[in-house]
Amino acid sequence: AGEWLGYNGQAISAIVNIGVGGSDVGPQMVCQALDEFKSDTQFPLKFLFVSSLDGSQLAEMLQHLDQATTVFIVASKTFTTVDTMANAKTAKAWLRKTIPSDKAITEHHFIGSSAHPERMHAWGIPHANQVALWDWVGGRYSLWSGIGLPIALKIGMAGFKQLLAGAEAMDQHYRTTPLEHNLPVLLAMTGIWNINILGLKAQTILPYDGRLKTLPNYLSQLEMESNGKTVTSDGSRTARDTSPVIWGDVGANAQHAYFQLLHQGTPAFYADFIVPVRRTPSNGYSKDTQVQLQCQQELNLANCIAQSRVLMMGDSVLQWEDSCEKSPDRLYSGNHASTTIMFDELTPYSLGSLIALYEHKVYTQAVIWDINPFDQWGVELGKQIAKTTLKAIQQRQQAMADDEHFDASTDGLLSHIDACTHAHQQAILNKNTGHYSRSGPGHAHAPSHQGHPQGIVAGV
């Protein structure tokens, strides 16, 4: 509404959410899905999301933003997440180019969302700009909390409350409905059958709606980080397979990509088709455009149903043709399991219900498998090892002794990084001194890797 102003009194035009994992995937998915429900603001607002640790995503974005009119939301439950804090530090450095003091930067251009107010304060974010989280909320379940601030800002509090209401309706359904009619339980048991009885180890998520294109990514985190476990509640190893590998894309796009594998490949999998029955075009379109959009929705529904049917029945859907007359490379075996989830239309309420449906499905399966869906120790060791690896990279660049002992593959990769770094430094030196080499003025020879194109190497 133009009430939050930048350091020089200009209205904010861009909100950038800096997070990773649950602090990024869920809010981004919902904001993208509900873009047409965005609330009216006095000044147009862009909503952007940054998560990439390497900085490339943020660097590209900053080229198109104005320091005076950009606000960053630093979303981290612990407020120590390396990826998030590295991006936040870079964002602060970018703001310093224009804004005269760190106090002005953090007061006008940063919001913090965390369970640790003392860490937000230490970083410079004033109390008035802090959004508190409960410390028991897991990241992948947190879009309903203060982590969902970008959602509330984009679709307004009325829209956000509708999202919550849809989730609450599914919560109540899960709590009170008999098992034989309980949607999360039925979805969970279908998965148990596919995984533990049929032995299927992969699942594809196929939303037939372009607005839900990041839903497969969201569900892959929700399911694999929750139930990708091998240890039961008593510390013993589970005797059954747990979460499958999950991937997906917008269904109509996937038809032109990996459906070849689904219909005629060798991996065993099952699929979830997700589709709204209706799509109500905005009144801003002409009558002819609205009619054409409705035709596209009907075409979309037809493709969704047809693909699920072919996965199930294969060539037998063409009852009037003798499939035996086809050459082997044109045969469809069918007999692939799938579930189709339909809802009336995509709204904040229906999306809230859909997300809660999968949350309760995941919890139900965790109970059956006797695993804890609320921890994620599998993501920790890599972060720990990265610290010693970073130290080794920095020591080698500074020609310091490296006491860390690495396996041969890792040592080879570190040596390649070292060689490339030194070659780059030498190139800069040659350019600054006007040195000419056989590769031309100001160029140093890159490290040679015989048989490897463009210096590409692989650690095995």
Residues marked as catalytic: 225, 256, 383
For residue 49, give the H/E element and its range: strand 46-50
Which two structure tokens, joined as six digits, stand for 43? 């000044």
Contact 155, 348 (CB under 8 A): yes
Contact 379, 143 (CB under 8 A): no
Q: Rounded to an integer, what distance in angstroms lies between the CA atom of residue 458 and that of residue 460?
A: 6
Q: Rounded to an integer, what distance in angstroms lies between the CA atom of residue 279 and that of residue 300?
A: 11
* CA 362 to chain CA mean position, Å: 18
DSSP tag of 208:
S
The number of helix segments (H) and strand segments (E) in the chain equals 14, 11
Q: Rounded to an integer, what distance in angstroms lies between the CA atom of residue 64 and that of residue 201?
A: 43
Give, in degrees to the nearest 5, the angle at Cα 380 between 413 and 132: 130
Which two structure tokens, joined as six digits, stand for 378? 């599998």
Contact 108, 98 (CB under 8 A): no
Phi and psi at 19, nearest 5°, equal -165, -175
- Max Cα separation, the chain? 80
Question: Distances in Å between the alpha carbon of 88 and those of 16, 122, 152?
Answer: 10, 14, 21
Question: Distances in Å between the alpha carbon of 57 and those of 18, 27, 216, 395?
Answer: 11, 17, 21, 27
Say how many residues make up the chain.
Answer: 460
> If DSSP codes are grouped into helix, strand and coil, which group holds residue 278?
coil
> If DSSP codes are grouped into helix, strand and coil, which group holds residue 170?
helix
Q: How many CB atoms lie within 10 A of CB 280?
A: 14
Half-sphere exposure of 402 (CA within 13 A, CB side): 19
Residues whose CB falls within 8 Å of the CB of residue 265, separated by 6 or more in sequence, listed in order: none
Which two structure tokens, joined as six digits, stand for 402? 């490296």
Query: 348-369 and 25-33 helices cross at what angle (nearest 10)?
Result: 140
> If DSSP codes are grouped into helix, strand and coil, which group holds residue 324?
helix
* Pairing state between β 110-114 and 46-50: unpaired
